[in-house]
Structure 1
Amino acid sequence: MEFQQMTSFVAVAEENNFSRAARRLRIAQSSVSLQLKRLERELGVQLVSRASQPVRLTPAGEAFLGEVRQVLDLAGQAVEEARGVAAGRAGTIRVGFNFVAGRLVLPATLRRMHAEHPSLNVELTCMHSGPQLRALADGELDVALVFGAQQRRGWRSMPVLRVELVAMVDKRHRWARRDAVGFRELAGQRCVLFGREMCPAMYDEIQSAAARTGTRLDIVEEINDPLATAVAVRTRQVVGFTSAPRWDQSAAAGLVTVPLVGPVPTLPVHAVWRADRAPGPVEAFLRCLNATRVRKGVRSA
C-alpha cells in the first residue's frame, strides 16, 4: 500500500468526485483513478461505487476511510517531527560538561534553549574532559564541553571561554595568605595532579608551564577525583591544581586557592562535536551557547 494510493482514496472520499479530487491533489484525474484501482486490487475489495454521482463509498470504503486517515495523520506527525529535528526545533541532544562549563555558561544556555526551542530536550552529563571525549567518540554524546581544543578528523570545535589555573593549598599552608605564587616556587613543593587520561588539557598545560620555566615538579601522586584531591591537600600538605572558578568549592572545604604567575597557566573551554551528528539539534544548542558564552569575569577563549 503506497502513500499516494491512500491520499488519492481520501481525496475521492471527501470530495465525492474524481475530478475535484484530482484538482485538490494537483494531479491528473486518470492518475487518481489508477491509484484507487491499484489500492482496491491490492486490498481485494471495492472501496467506492463509481456508478453513482456523486461518488459514494462502499461499506468497506467507509470502514477503511477512518483507518487511512489515522495512518495519514501519523505520517504527517512523523514528517513534522523529522523536520523539527532537522531544523533543531525538536528532538534530543546529549550534552556533556565539566565543572567550569556547568557553572559559567550552561545555566544561561539552557534558559535560552528552553525559551527558543521548548520541544528540544537536553540530556546533561557532568564528566571530566577525558571521559567526555571518549563518550563523544563512541557516539554517546552529541556535544562535549571540555578543556582544550581538539584536532581530530571529522570533529568540530568552538571556543567558549578561557580560565586560569591556580594552586590549591590547605588554609594552614604558608602560601595561604599569599596574593600570588611564582610558578618556579612549585619546585620546592610536593604536588598532586589529575591523571592525563581524565583531563588531558590541564595536565599538558601544567607540564608545559613547568617546561617553559625550567621547573621540575615533584608529582607525588596522580588523583582523578576532585574530592580526593581536596582531602589529600588538606591532610598531606601537598599542593593541588584547580581552575579558578572552583574557588568557592575549595574555600568551603577549608582550602585556599592562590594565583600562579610567571607564567599564568590558562585553559580554554571548547564545545566539541562530531560533524556526522544530527545537525539541527546540535546547531540549535551551539547558537544558544554562543549567544550566552560571554560572562562577567570570564575571558573569552
Structure 2
Amino acid sequence: MELRHVRSFLAIADELHFGRAAARLHLAQPSLSQHLRQLERSVGVELVSRNSREVRLTPAGVVFRELAGDIVERVQRAEEAARAAAAGRAGTIRVGYNFPAGRRVLPGTLARFDARHREVDVVMAEMRTGPQLAALQDGRLDVAMVYGEPASNGLRSRRLLRVPLVAVVGLEHRWAGRDGVPFEELAGESCILFHRAQSSAMYDAIFSAARASGIRLNVAEEVDDPGATAIIAAVKPLVGFASALRGGFAQAAPGGPGTTTVRLYDPVPLLDLYAVWNADPGPLVESFLRCLPDANDRLRA
C-alpha cells in the first residue's frame, strides 16, 4: 500500500467525483482511477462503487476512510515535525550547566530561546565540568556550560563569564567575619577539595594560585559534591572553595548549612565559564547558541 494511493482515495471520498478529485490532486483522471484500483487490490476489497449516475463509498470504504484519514494526517504532522527539526524549530535540546551558568547565563538565554522556538523542549542537568564534557562527547548532552576551555579538537567553545573563587568556612572558623584574606594564609589551613576529574579548570586555578603565593595546600578531605563541601565546612575547621555566586547564594539561603564566604586575593583565583558544543552541532544547537549572551555582554560575576 502506497501513501499516494491512500491520498487519491481520500480525495475521491471527499469529492465523490473522479474529475474533481483528479483536478484537486493535479492528476490525470486515468491515473487517479489506477491509484484506486491498486489500493483496492492491496486492501483486498472494493472501496468505491461507481456507475454512470453516481460515485459512492462502499461500507468497507466508509470504514477505511475514517482510519486512512488519521494515517495521512499523522504522516503530514511527521513530515512537518521533521522539517521543523531540520530547520532548528522543533525537537529536544539537552543542556548541561554549572551553578554560575544557572544563575547568570541560562535565565536570559532560555527566555530568548523560548520566544523564538516554542516547539523545542529544553532538558537541563546541573553537573560539574568533567561529567558535562563526558556527557557531551558520548551524546547525552548537546551543549555544556563548564569551567575552562576544552582542549579536544572535536569540540567548539565560546567564553561567557569570568568567575572569582571564594573560600567557604563555618561560622565558627577564625576567618568568619573577615572581608577577605590573602591566598597565602591558606598555608595554615586544612582544605576540602574535589577530585581533579570533576572540574580540572577549577582544580588547576586553585593550585595555580597556591603556587603563585608560594604555598602548598593541605588537602584534608576530598568531596565531589558542592553541597556536601558546605556541610562539612560548617561542622569542621576546614576551608572549602566555591564560585562567588554559589558561595553567596548558599550563605543567603534560609536554613543553609551554616557557612560564610571569604574573598581570596593576592592572587584572586579566577575561572572562565564557557559554552561548549560538538564541532558539527546541527541547526537546533545552532539556534540555541544564537540565544546565548552576545560577546559584548560578557560579565564578570
Give secondary structure in 2 for the equivalent of 1:139: coil
Deviations 1:230-280 (A, max 9, x none): 243344322221101022313654433232233322112222233566632
What is residue 149 of structure 2 aligned with on the other side? 149
Query: Are 2:147 and 2:272, in contact at CA under 8 Å, matched by a contact in 1?
Result: yes
2:286 to 273, 283, 287: 283
What SS is found at the alignment partner of 1:186? helix
- SS for the counterpart of 1:94 is strand
Q: Which amino acid aligns with 2:293?
A: N
Name the residue aligned to 2:94: 94
1:248 — aligned with what?
Answer: 249
Residues 1-301 of structure 1 aligned to structure 2 (within 5 Å): 1-52=1-52, 55-246=55-246, 247-250=248-251, 252-275=256-279, 279-280=283-284, 282-290=285-293, 294=297, 298-299=299-300
In 2, the alpha carbon distance for the partners of 1:66 and 1:163 equals 61
8 A Cα contact 1:190 1:238, kept in partner: yes
Q: 1:136 is paired with a residue of what secondary structure?
A: helix
Structure 2, unaligned runs of 5 or more: none
Pairwise CA distance, 1:292:
11
Tell me, in whole angstroms, the C-alpha distance in 2 between the residues paired with 1:49 and 1:170.
86
Q: Distance in 2 between matches of 1:239 and 1:289?
A: 34
* SS of corresponding position for 2:292: helix
Over residues 161-192 of structure 1, what are the superposed CA-to-partner deviations in whole Å (9 max), with x where a residue is unaligned? Answer: 22111222334444445443333333333222
Q: Give CA-to-partner distance per residue, 1:140-170, whole Å, 9 cap, x none.
A: 3333222222233433333222211122233
Find the residue that maps to 2:146 and give its secondary structure: strand
Seen in structure 2, the aligned counterparts of structure 1 residues 193 and 5 have a Cα distance that, compared at 3 Å, is: same
Distance in 2, Cα, partners of 1:278 & 1:52: 56
Cα separation, partners in 2 of 1:182 and 1:4, compared to 1, 3 Å: same
1:187-212 per-position Cα deviation (integer Å, ceiling 9, x unaligned): 33322212112222211222233344
Contact 2:210 2:216 in 1 (8 A): yes
Distance 1:62 1:233 in 2: 74
- Partner Cα distance (2:288, 2:272) in 1: 19
Q: Cα–Cα, structure 1 residues 214 and 25, in superposed 2: closer, same or farther, change >3 Å?
A: farther
What's the CA shift for 1:2?
Answer: 0.9
TM-score by length of 1: 0.83
Superposition deviation, residue 69 in structure 1: 1.1
Moved more, 194-203 or 88-97: 88-97
Using the size of structure 2 for normalisation, the TM-score is 0.83
Question: Are the counterparts in 2 of residues 161 and 293 from structure 1 also a CA contact under 8 Å?
Answer: no
Provide the aligned C-alpha RMSD in A: 3.0
The 3-state SS of whatever aligns with 1:264 is coil
Q: For 2:279 and 2:30, locate their aligned partners in 1 and report how far apart those are by CA, in whole Å.
A: 46
Cα shift at 1:100: 1.6
| Residues 116 and 293 (structure 1), Cα distance of their counterparts in 2 relative to 1, 3 Å cut | farther
- Aligned with 1:216: secondary structure? coil
Matched-pair contact (CA < 8 Å) for 1:157–1:273: yes
Cα distance in 2 for partners of 1:241, 1:45 equals 75
CA shift for structure 1 position 63: 2.8
Out of 210-219 and 220-229, give the one that drifted further: 210-219
* Matched-pair contact (CA < 8 Å) for 1:194–1:223: yes
Is the CA contact (8 Å cut-off) linking 1:160 and 1:290 kept in structure 2? Answer: yes
C-alpha separation in 1, matches of 2:296 and 2:198: 24
Q: CA deviation at 1:76?
A: 1.5
Question: What is the CA-CA distance between 1:220 and the residue it aligns to?
Answer: 2.4
Distance 1:180 1:29 in 2: 86
Distance, in Å, in 2 between the alignment partners of 1:117 and 1:136 is 22
Provide the secondary structure at the position in 1 that maps to 2:268: coil
